[in-house]
Structure 1
Amino acid sequence: MTAASERSKLVYFFGAGQAEGDRGMRDRLGGKGANLAEMTGMGIPVPPGFTISTEVCTVFMESGGQYPAELRPEVDEAFARMEQLLGRRFGDEERPLMVSVRSGAAVSMPGMMDTVLNLGLNDRTVEGLARDSGNPRFALDAYRRLLQMYGDVVLGIPHDRFERPLAAAKEAAGVEHDSQLGEGPLRALVREFLEIIRRGGRTFPQEPHDQLWGAIAAVFTSWGSRRATHYRRKCGIPDTLGTAVNVQGMVFGNLGEDSATGVAFTRDPSTGVCELYGEYLVNAQGEDVVAGIRTPHPIRRNGDGTSLEERMPGTFSELAQVCDRLERHYRDIQDLEFTVERGRLWLLQTRTGKRSAAAAVRSAVEMVAEGLIDEATAVGRIDPGQLQTLLHPSIDESASFEVLATGLAASPGAASGQVVFTADEAAELGEAGEQVVLVRRETSPEDIHGMTAAQAILTARGGTTSHAAVVARGMGKCCVAGCKEIDILPDGSAFSVGAVTVRKGDWITLDGSTGRVILGRVATRPSELQGEFRTVMEWCDRFRRLGVRANADTPHDARQAIEFGAEGIGLCRTEHMFFDEERILLVRRMIFAASNSARRAAIDGLRPLQRGDFADIFRAMGGRPVTIRLLDPPLHEFLPHEGDDLSPVAAGLGVSTSELRSTIARLAEANPMLGHRGCRLGITYPEITEMQARAMGEAACDVAAEGVEVALEVMVPLVGVARELALQAAVIRRVIDEVLAERGAELGYTIGTMIELPRACVTADEIAREAQFFSFGTNDLTQTVFGLSRDDSGKFLQVYLDEAIYPADPFAVLDEAGVGRLIRMAVELGRSARPDLKVGICGEHGGDPASVAFCHRAGLDYVSCSPFRVPVARLAAAQAALAESGDAGRRVAEERLAAR
């Protein structure tokens, strides 16, 4: 085949050990299609079929639902090959061929797009299938499923219109599961489903090829569905990728007790333990497992005789061998779908398995030990955003609590919240800042917005490979699935467990590591980091160039930061030390002072308190750099808010309530973010800067005298003009040098500034002549560049994200095009004036993986973030270094680390 004809090819066939594609063609064939082709080429039993390329999806979406002219002939040719291999014909009334139509994007989006099974059945072929299989019940069940799926996915008939008569039929027959319905009830359901479609103003196509093209169009259309779009936004997947469509000969797990369907992972996706893991159902189709319609059985032996290993030992052995081959071939955890048809194993899919953060870390370390991957691959494979879930709390077992029920441990962690029963309720309350637990019989892809908002998810049905479990693990959400003990009331107002009723709004706690459902709120404990985690972090530190510090305002925060691997404090906010009752009274006395002497007396009362705080932080950091920011917020933030009871405050200050009210009004500002704050406060009240500088100097001398090294960095906030920094730096140097002279001590310290104004960025060369370091305060820099208040942006930000005006929330992910360009300019200008200028970032962007990667590329020296995001930043910094230029980048990272 020529290169030109290969480029124009739209349909790729696979079957009988031969495939026209491979795993390297994900962009064209999607992940599912590429892996089906790869498995076929490996000789693994895969039902034959073909993949329609993602290029067709792009044409279909851009042309309003039109296909390329050459598509139909290629599909017809591939169909003929499939029919020849299977010995069946599409639409034949004696030996009908049935096919599935499934989506398959280049990036896995589990459950977000549509699937239709059993295409090819109609009123005539269903009778032929009954004769050919010798099982009329199976044929009618397959037709019933097709009508239900096609009616919902392709014709747009609401799913519950089919569910209601199905539930009524089971109730009338006195059975619990679909698989227990007999031939008579199924035949009646087929007639009723056809009538439901007719009453909905639609017609079920009796011509199989019309069914096929309707299903293909539905899959392409589902790429633009609300749930798929929401998932892509959540996961940062581009809308331009499109999806492929996989058309594949059906194999059936619902032909009887020697047939089954299931999902398997080559390692436990919650823990990473190296053993085959998964679930299956006898006499069922694959959607039954994924949708959570029935609670499945484990694959591995569990002692009660229900496992695949016990019921079908030969099939289990073959599946274990296939899993081992695939993991070694792909060198990663695989998530497989399989069907057993009358004792014969078929593989329907393999893909990289989604896993919890704990499983990602453990499997990465163990695969390095097994020789499957190297350390760089292990580091590159772990999602930095997911890593933070390892640091989340677990249930405090010493607390007293009542376990209400136990389900399956589907996604680890612990979370409490108020019970809600719909995704819309979860989204609404979550947006209002409430903690909620979403409780459902089973989740569906339509629930994605509610799952995103919830702290945890609880389902009555489904297993650890159900939609709820897979999505929760990917999001790092706690999830308990398949909790059969809970009975949700039909009106969705409450659920019961025996005699206990839990109503909407009641609090429960979920333990996703054990499957426990607990009444009320329960105390939790911080995560204990395991050995594998520390190993991965050591690898990250070897590869990264970028330093990682923490934002910490207390000794406790400082110790927490060190435990998570911080190399220093990049931001210590001194104002946070003033908000307890004793200290805020002194600040208020300073504000109300009628004379300089009174103001100094109040300030002198604050100095020993600040000195003690600084000393404790220096001790905790043990010689690591500590960047202390001078007082930043405007003074009115230390006064009561309008509407508060002013009498107690006025009495404590010895002033009247009218005087207090008058002072609050006088200090109020129309736009305090751009008002009398930062260095402006220190310039107008230099005694504040003097007090803080003296407290720092005295604390440093006290700790140094104890034999503990101190690395003090003093940061002046909100500098926009070099002269502002020069004036404040002169005060700081004079005072600290006075302290050193008084103590007869020697102490090295540096003075720098927080770059958070556009003017500071464009005049950074002038400012650098006065500063020994820059630290970008990207929270305020983002506000001033966008002209956007972080406090008020929530009123319209979601609209901007939905309309793709902003690609992401600029306060969460650094805006590289605007804010980033100013940062690059400031770094270049600053280092042109002072080549040894140290440059960092201390906004919360310092813990965002994409923003950390930008900081690496922009040549910053370090990032600083909250303590719990330090491991995320370490991993993201390592990945940025490795991405720079492969192995060469790795060597550079190691060299720079050694020099740091």
Structure 2
Amino acid sequence: MLHPHTKGAAVQNNPHTTLVTPTAPIAAETHGGRAKCLQRLVRLDLPVPRTVALSFQAVDRIGQGHLPDVEKVVAEFPEGALMCVRPSSQDPDWGGPGAVMNIGINTAKYESFCDTMGEDAASALYTRFVQSYAVHVARLDPDIFDDVSGDPRSALGQSLHAYEAEMEEPFPQDRAAQLSAVLLSMSRAWHGTSARLLRQAKGAPADAGLGLVVQQMAFGVGHGTSGTGVLQLVSSDTGLPQVTGRYKSQSQGRDGLEEKTAMYLTRDPRGPSLQDIEPEVFETLIGHAQLMRTKLRAEMQVEFVLEDGTLHILDGVRVARSSQAAVHIAVALADDGIIPREEALMRVEPRTLSELLHRQVAPGAKRDVIGSGIAASPGAATGRIVFNAADAQASASRNEPCILVRRETSPEDIRGMQAAHAVLTERGGITSHAAVIGRGMGLPCVVGASNLRFNLKRRTITSADGRVFNAGDEITIDGTSGEVLVGAPAMREAALDDTFKRFMIWAEEVADIGIRANADTPADAQTAHHFRAEGIGLCRTEHMFFEPGRMTVMREMIFANTGEDRRAVLERLLPMQRNDFKQLFRIMEGKPVSIRLFDPPLHEFLPTDKAGQRELADALDLPLSAVTRRIEELSEYNPMLGMRGVRLGVTVPEIYEMQARAIFEATVEVSRDGAPVVPEVMIPLVSTRREVELVKTAVDAVAAAVSSETDTDFDFHLGVMVETPRAALRAAEIAPYCSFLSFGTNDLTQMTYGLSRDDAGRFMSAYVQRGVFAEDPFHVMDTDGVGELVKLGATRGRMAQPGVTLSVCGEHGGNPESIAFCREVGFDYVSCSPFRVPVARLAAAQLAIKDKLGL
């Protein structure tokens, strides 16, 4: 067997080229993860072949032409032993150059192997090395071996001839010279431009180091039971216990593991298995894997070799895992006492939870991509193209999945979005209407797909390569990657099982900042409740007015001439609004619900096309000219900075009065039936103290009236949405009138930058790529600019009103980096789309754990 030993270790005391022993100076930060793992396996007394580890510094010097004492490295291995060189980066995900095996074989050694393992096996070893050396070390074109054929000895002769003809020199025969060339080649491959860009895309720093391990070859070819394989104790898809992997007789490396000739590991009616032919070896292998799981504190994939029935462990790597598997593995390790719960929480990347919450395109599925945009709402869905809300609703009535395609969505499209399985828009950014509503509904959404041509008149979309897709054609929206695909690729279903729920409860117990959900409808609230949100941090009431029966009433109110006329019309909306709030309060079971009063400009409720205007004129029994005149009166050059939010509440106070009454009457009714309700009334788009004074006076008056009429005392909190820079700067004046300040960072970012959140998607990717912005500021909070305003507002607000509650209710509330900032500033909670609650909660838990550990 090829066991490492300490005697005669000429390189052992050199930290840059050191024999892997239990006490050798090896660390992942200096020699890479593979070298460190091999040392741990040696400490477990597993049958690891003799190995020498080269440090990052040594490999870096090799790339500069300064080789270590290769003769001393070679001397660490038995005379005539072959070697393999494999990469050892700090993080396995960063990759590295491919392994080179059978270093040291030459013509004399080949003849010796023919006697000991047979001519075919020896020829295969030599041929593999010749071709690998030619391509990866000598940098020859692989095509020179295309015509190699015949029996193994003939193939070897042809390979040697092809190499020597191309290089015009004999194939190198000296073991040290071969190893030197391989080391130099792998070092330079790591430092190449393409390799550097590739690993940076995977999150590696620009100066990431590479270590190399030189390991004695254990042969999976030869006499007796010989072969290679991999084994793991869990499924990579589910994380549940399951011995998986493959074994291939008479093979090297991982080449044969996907071939039909590979064997199963465990007994299987479909064919022979390792457990059948070598039951003792199989049980030993299982024991080694279990030991690695316990001692290395992770589920490991074991790479092994059988050499004439003798087992060698070449390597151990963390099991590849889906998001579902990551959660199951972490929970199982904690349940078995191998790691504490806090560490289990740290083992799962928060963003990957989105893959658990939504249906996804299956890994490995064929993807025919026709366009791409901003991945605005995760998940994937397949359906037939429709171009308006009415067609989406018609499809839903026929139980036909559809994809709603719009240039950009508006509040009028909400019914179509509810009927569709996914949304695709030509315009928009991460906080555009389609993106925000899609995330709230858990609806896959791609926005800003500007490389597709939309022709809504002809009802077509055209891809960059000229393919035309009509209404009724089937496409798939991948809101996780931002891609638009042709047809219906295989899907992986969402996986929210009991293990996931337990994992999230652990996170809830650790997190020290509250997590609420933005929810506008009973369905949203139900989702928020299911994910154990601590309340609703933002309920956008305007979305309740776009139901068909309510839209007409809203339009009547808009055309009313006096306040009394408006109140009369709004009386018809009052019971509808009251019922909305009763449903929300009951679903949330006494948890706080923050209700934002009406925010959008009134023109959004009026039709923009002639046909719609004629229908409205008929419905209201008005001349068409009166309808068009009123629409013109309400039109604005910049409606997002116009007559909306508190400005409507001050100038058209009847709307806020009706909403306040609906909130308080619902509070009284629901509190009688169950847990007391303490609603939070939020005023949007505030800029001045006087705006708050006026609305507060009106809301207090309605509260007093409802209390008197119902003979019931109730509590409520009044607060503002800080989404203008002035509100943040003047928070000291505003806070004394408020119970809470909720920072609406979508609009605050828009106004601070002077960027349209709906249009910025057209150039944002170019800005990020060219380093103008480090990240899309609508996706990750700009802690320097917008963050400074948030800090100022929070500090000044708390100085003037020490008990004021602080929160973020923009989409940044679901972003892990932004949560870290909010927690640092001392916010009480963040609020985000319901389906982002688990992501936010895990991120908050990990931040608390890092603080506890001083990381």
1:43 counterpart residue number:
45
**1:20 maps to which residue?**
24
Tell me which of 691, 697, 702 is aligned to 2:664.
697
Q: Which residue of 1 aligns with 2:358?
A: 392
2:71 paired with 1:87: no
Three-state SS of the structure 2 residue aligned to 1:769 is helix
Give yes or no for contact 2:117–2:222 (8 Å, CA) kept in 1. Answer: no
Instruction: Work out the CA distance in 2 between the residues paired with 1:50 and 1:878.
Output: 40
- Within 5 Å, give how 1:545-694 maps onto structure 2: 545-641=512-608, 646-655=613-622, 660-661=627-628, 663-694=630-661
> Are residue 215 (structure 1) and residue 190 (structure 2) matched?
no
Is the contact made by 1:219 and 1:245 (CA closer than 8 Å) also made in structure 2?
no
| Cross-structure match for 2:820 | 853
Asked if structure 1 preserves the Cα contact closer than 8 Å seen for 2:131 and 2:159, the reply is: no
Q: Which residue number corresponds to residue 99 of structure 1? A: 84
Change (3 A) 1:587 1:293: farther
The alignment partner of 2:512 has SS state of coil
Deviation of the 1:570 alpha carbon: 0.8
Q: CA deviation digits over 1:229-288, x for unaligned, max 9? A: 3222xxxx4444333333333333344772222222243333333454323322233242
Question: Does structure 2 retain, via aligned residues, the 8 Å contact 1:205–1:211?
Answer: no
Q: 1:343 to 1:618 in 2, by over 3 A?
A: same
Contact 2:522 2:584 in 1 (8 A): yes
Given residue 497 of structure 2, which amino acid in structure 1 is its aligned partner?
L
Query: 2:754, 2:217 → 1: CA distance?
Result: 57
CA spacing shift, 1:293–1:552, aligned 2, 3 Å: same
Tell me how far apart the structure 2 counterparts of residues 690 and 277 of structure 1 sit (CA, whole Å): 65
> What is residue 92 of structure 2 aligned with on the other side?
108
Tell me, yes or no, if the aligned pair for 2:516 and 2:535 is still in contact at 8 Å.
yes
In the other structure, the counterpart of 1:278 is: 245
Alignment pair present for 1:184 and 2:167: no
Deviation at 1:49, TM superposition (A): 3.2
Distance 2:659 2:536 in 1: 17
Take 1:772 and 1:218, find their aligned partners in 2: how far apart are those partners? 60
Q: How does 1:780-791 map to 2 (within 5 A)?
A: 780-791=747-758
Q: What's the offset of the Cα at 1:752?
A: 0.7
Q: CA deviation at 1:428?
A: 4.6
The alpha-carbon distance between structure 1 residues 287 and 793, as it changes in their structure 2 partners (threshold 3 A), is: farther
Tell me by how many angstroms 1:214 deviates. Answer: 1.6
The question of 1:137 aligning with 2:120 is answered yes
CA positional deviation for 1:843? 1.9
Show the counterpart of 1:91. Answer: none
C-alpha displacement of 1:563: 1.6
1:108 partner letter: P
CA change 1:800–1:163 in 2 (3 A) is farther
- Distance in 2 separating the partners of 1:595 and 1:345: 90
Contact 2:324/2:495 (8 A) holds in 1: no
Task: Note the alpha carbon deviations across 1:742-786, whole angstroms, 9 max, x for none.
Answer: 221111000111122233223222221122101122222233333
State the alpha-carbon separation in 1 of the partners of residues 314 and 370 from structure 2: 34
Q: Which residue of 1 aligns with 2:55?
A: 53
Q: CA deviation at 1:859?
A: 1.5
CA distance in structure 2 between the aligned counterparts of 1:593 and 1:245, rounded to whole angstroms: 79
**Aligned amino acid, residue 154 of structure 2:** G
1:705-747 deviations in Å (ceiling 9; x for gaps): 3344212001111222222222222222222222222221111
**8 Å CA contact 1:258, 1:282 repeated in 2:** yes
Q: 1:520/1:216 Cα in 2 relative to 1: closer, same or farther (>3 Å)?
A: closer
Deviations 1:55-98 (Å, cap 9, x if unpaired)? 467789xxxx635xxx52xx325x5244342322xxxxxx6x34
| Distance in 2 separating the partners of 1:257 and 1:794 | 63
Cα drift, residue 134 of structure 1: 4.2
Partner Cα separation in structure 2 for residue 204 and residue 795 of structure 1? 56
Change (3 A) 1:764 1:342: farther
Secondary structure of residue in 2 paired with 1:264 = strand
Secondary structure of the residue that 2:679 maps to in structure 1?
A: strand
1:244 aligns with 2:214: no
Counterparts of 1:656 and 1:51, CA distance in 2: 87
Please give the secondary structure, in 2, of the residue aligned with 1:348: strand
Q: 1:367 to 1:795 in 2, by over 3 A?
A: same
**Offset of 1:218 from its aligned partner?**
0.8
Contact map agreement 2:538 2:831 (CA 8 A) in 1: yes
* Residues 679, 339 of structure 1: alpha-carbon distance in 2 compared, 3 angstrom cutoff: farther
**Could you give the per-residue CA deviations for residues 87-115 of structure 1, whole angstroms, max 9, x where no partner exists?**
22xxxxxx6x343232x3222216x4321
Hey, what's the Cα distance between the residues in 2 that align with 1:599 and 1:546? 42
Match of 1:548, SS?
Answer: strand
Instruction: Give how far 1:629 is off.
Output: 0.6
Q: Which residue of 1 aligns with 2:497?
A: 529
CA distance in 2, matches of 1:735, 1:66: 79
Tell me, yes or no, if the aligned pair for 2:220 and 2:306 is still in contact at 8 Å.
yes
Once the two structures are superposed, what CA deviation does each residue of 1:434-471 show, in whole Å capped at 9, x if it has no partner? 9699xxxxxxxxxxxxxxxxx9xxxxxxxxxxxxxxxx
Q: What secondary structure does 1:840 align onto?
A: strand
Taking the aligned partners of 1:12 and 1:883, their CA distance within structure 2 comes to 35
Give the Cα separation in 2 of the matches to 1:338 and 1:542: 41
Which of residues 326, 331, 334 is equivalent to 1:368? 334
Identify if the C-alpha distance between structure 1 residues 834 and 216 changes in structure 2 by more than 3 Å, giving closer, same or farther: same
- 2:690 matched residue in structure 1: 723
Q: Distance in 2 between matches of 1:883 and 1:223?
A: 35
Q: Distance in 2 between matches of 1:336 and 1:222?
A: 32
1:259-658 map, 5 Å: 259-288=226-255, 292=258, 296-393=262-359, 420=367, 425=369, 428=372, 527-530=495-498, 532-641=499-608, 646-655=613-622
Change (3 A) 1:735 1:18: closer
- TM-score normalized by structure 1? 0.74
Counterpart residue type for residue 216 of structure 1: S
| 2-structure distance, mates of 1:626, 1:114 | 55
SS of equivalent to 2:543: helix
Name the SS for the 2:212 alignment partner: strand
Residues 17, 58 of structure 2: 8 Å contact kept = no
SS at match of 1:614: helix
Aligned residues: 744
Say if 1:598 and 1:143 are closer, same or farther in 2 by CA, change over 3 A: farther
User: CA-to-partner distance for each residue in 1:182-222, whole Å, 9 max, x for gaps?
Assistant: 44356546656777x77xx9999886233431222113337
CA-to-aligned-CA distance 1:563-602 (integer Å, 9 cap, x gap): 2111211111101112222222222333333444443333
Aligned 8 A contact 1:847 1:865 in 2: yes
Q: Which moved more, 1:211-220 or 1:319-328?
A: 211-220
Please say if residues 14 and 37 of structure 1, whose CA atoms lie closer than 8 Å, have aligned partners that are also in contact.
no
Change (3 A) 1:587 1:392: same
- Contact 1:98/1:249 (<8 A) preserved: yes
Q: Secondary structure at the match of 2:712?
A: coil
Per the normalisation by structure 2, the TM-score is: 0.77
Q: Distance in 2 between matches of 1:245 and 1:656?
A: 82
Asked if the contact 1:11–1:51 (Cα under 8 Å) also holds between the matched residues in 2, the reply is yes
Which of residues 117, 128, 134 is equivalent to 2:100?
A: 117
Structure 1 CA distance for aligned equivalents of residues 524 and 500 of structure 2: 20
Structure 1, unmatched stretches of 5+, are: 1-5, 89-94, 174-180, 394-412, 438-454, 456-476, 478-492, 494-504, 511-518, 890-900
* 1: CA distance, partners of 2:134 / 2:852: 51
CA contact (8 A) 2:362 2:491 kept: no
